[in-house]
Every structure is written in C-alpha cells, then in structure tokens.
Amino acid sequence: QVQLVESGGGLVQSGGSLRLSCAASGLAFDWYDMSWYRQAPGKQRDMVARLSSSGETTNYADSVKGRFTISRDIAKKTVYLQMTSLNSDDTARYYCSAIPTNRGFQHWGQGTQVTVSS
C-alpha cells in the first residue's frame, strides 16, 4: 500500500547543489517518520536525514549537517532533500524511507543515483 518514488538524482559538480524528491502514497505523514538514506557500492546504507512525523524535528548525519536539509510538502505528499556544497563523498544511491511511529515495517523507495564529479 505504501509506495515511495525518488527522483531528482543525477550528475553534479563538486560544490554544487541538488534537490531530491520522494513522492509518497498510501501513508499519512502524521504517522510516519520520513528519512533519507544513502549507500555507495561496498558500503553500508546509512541514514543521512530524518524528519519526525510531526514535522517539527530533524536529525542529520554529521557528514551532511549544515549542508543537507530535509523537508516535506503535505499537500503534494512529497519529501525533499536539499543538498548543497556537494563533494565526492556524497556520491551514492539515495533512498527515501518511511518508518511508522509504532515501530512497524520500514518502507523503502527504489533509490536515485547522485554522482558528484571531482
């Protein structure tokens, strides 16, 4: 029932910016924490940003703090990840995730590739 579809990835120069979108369906944001994860080949999938179900609290990985911003548009049922000051370490496939506030099943999108050129 829950479906997450990421878009907005692509090739960007070091120091540039990019905004990822996650179109969500089959869920109510009030009952899900929304997160962005990323995974590079041969590495773990790690959380980079989280937005609480209330929309009032955000958390960021230290590696992206101050550069990435997670937000949502309830009317459009879309979660965004605004990325600035990108560097080669940000190259990864980025995934949108929805986590029920009752700690139920975690949902995932298919991911979108972000490649930062040096």
- The per-residue DSSP string of 1-14 comes to --EEEEE--EEEET
pLDDT, position 47: 98
For residue 116, the SS3 value is strand
For residue 76, the SS3 value is coil
Which residue carries 């869920």 as its tokens? 27
**Residue 41 clears pLDDT 90, i.e. is over it:** yes
Residues 18-42: what's their mean pLDDT?
96
CA separation for the pair 53, 112 (Å, rounded): 23
Q: What is the mean pLDDT of the chain?
A: 97
pLDDT, position 1: 87
